[in-house]
Each structure stands twice: as structure tokens, then as C-alpha cells.
Amino acid sequence: MLGLKNYLILNKEQYMSKISETELFLLNVYKGILLNNPLPDIETDKVINYEFDLKNFEILKEKYNISKIAGKGSDFERSIRILKHFSPKLRHDSYYGNHIKQNSVDILEYSYKTENGINC
């Protein structure tokens, strides 16, 4: 399996010829989701900020053992293992009001293995 780093080096045809059937299937599923759920065409002043807070990553590694859960392999394989580990232990709640700070540590502390649900 190829990770994102390899994709950035290869051109599209090279990448597509090297991915597994599972990766191709998931790529098509996710493309379909994005194409069928476009963002509304409205003007907004909201900006998405990604914070790469090493402190939070250290907490994830120590408290939630995320490195061991991820294991070895491509970025894709490791992401799937994390997804499969955490998904069954989190509850969905449509009425969750997004009142918890939006970062992985605070959300997990609020909802991991508890009755507290979160939404998308």
C-alpha cells in the first residue's frame, strides 16, 4: 500500500496502478460522498485552522496508546487501524452542541468509553 508521501511523488496514473483493490474501493466511496454532498455555494468569513500541537499528540500517544494502535504500515493502513479501534467506543449524538473544544484530546476525554455522544 502507498502512503500520501508516495502519492505526491508519483503522477496520478502511476499511483492508480499501484494501489490495492481495497484502497481503490475506498477512494471511490469517499469521492462519491464528496461529490454527492458538496459544500454550499455561500460566501463566508470562516476559516479552517489546523493546529499541530505536539503537546496534544504526546497526550494521545501516552493516554490513548495511539502509536501502538496505529502499528506499522502506510499512513492509510495506520489511519484505518485507529478508525477501527476508536469508532466502536464512541457514541453518536445528533443533539450534541459542539460545546467541547474541537481537538482530539478534549473530544476523546469527553466521549471515549462514556455515555457522552458527539456528532460529525
pLDDT per residue, tens digit, the chain (120 aa), is 455 555 455 566 766 677 788 888 888 887 877 777 766 666 777 776 666 667 888 898 999 999 999 999 988 899 899 989 998 888 888 888 888 888 889 989 998 888 888 887
Environment class of residue 111 by beta-carbon count within 10 Å: exposed (0-12), middle (13-18) or buried (19+)? Answer: buried
| Region of 98 on the Ramachandran plot (φ > 0 left; ψ -120 to 50 alpha; else beta) | left
Tell me, what DSSP letter sits at residue 117? E
Under DSSP, is residue 118 helix (H, G, I), strand (E, B) or coil? strand
E strand segments, 18-95: 91-92
Task: Report which residue type is found at 44.
Answer: T
Per-residue pLDDT at 41: 67
CA–CA dist 57, 70 (Å, integer): 13
Tell me, what DSSP letter sits at residue 94? T
Environment class of residue 69 by beta-carbon count within 10 Å: exposed (0-12), middle (13-18) or buried (19+)? Answer: middle
Per-residue pLDDT at 7: 45
Tell me, what DSSP letter sits at residue 102? S
Per-residue pLDDT at 70: 93
Q: Hey, what's the cell of 33?
A: 460522498
